[in-house]
Amino acid sequence: MNSLEPEEEDYLFCPSLDWDELYTEETFGDRLRLFYSQFDSSTRALLDDALFRETDQTDLVTGLEILCANQIIYKRLIQKHQKISNQIRWIWPETVSQLVIGMYSPHWYGQTFKLR
């Protein structure tokens, strides 16, 4: 019976991977996770029920859209738009210039906040 552990000699054939070389840039998802982690539990609970979308022009993220699941979440996030905007300015300082909080019910409506 063979063991599941590789032999010492097998390590010579597998070069070690330096993950920093493979992922040199942060992705939108990485920054979105950082954005999410900056809030307290009550705001994170609201953001859990929302969808996020980036809007871009020529491969540069220029806006962040938060699509709310219902009107209650929409109203509460509108009340917290200043706190959300401050975090966006910190995490995407040079790229994101607007925040859109909205919902579909049955038509699109929402508010746009300029960040600069």
26-114: CATH class: alpha beta
Residue type, 105: S
* Runs of H (alpha helix) within 2-113: 19-22, 28-37, 41-48, 71-79, 81-91
Per-residue pLDDT tens over the stretch 97-112 = 899 999 988 888 999 9
Q: Where along the chain do its domains lie? A: 26-114
Among the listed residues 68, 63, 71, 76, the one whose alpha carbon sits nearest the alpha carbon of residue 112? 63
What is the bridge-based pairing of β-strands 98-104 and 60-68?
Answer: parallel
Residue type, 51: L
d(C-alpha 40, C-alpha 46), whole Å:
10
d(C-alpha 94, C-alpha 92), whole Å:
6
CA angle 27, 97, 68 (to 5 degrees): 75
* Runs of H (alpha helix) within 38-70: 41-48
Per-residue pLDDT tens over the stretch 3-38 = 555 555 544 555 555 555 555 567 788 888 999 999
10 Å Cβ neighbour count for 113? 14
pLDDT of residue 14: 52
Per-residue pLDDT tens over the stretch 49-70 = 899 988 876 666 688 999 999 9
Q: Structure pTM?
A: 0.72
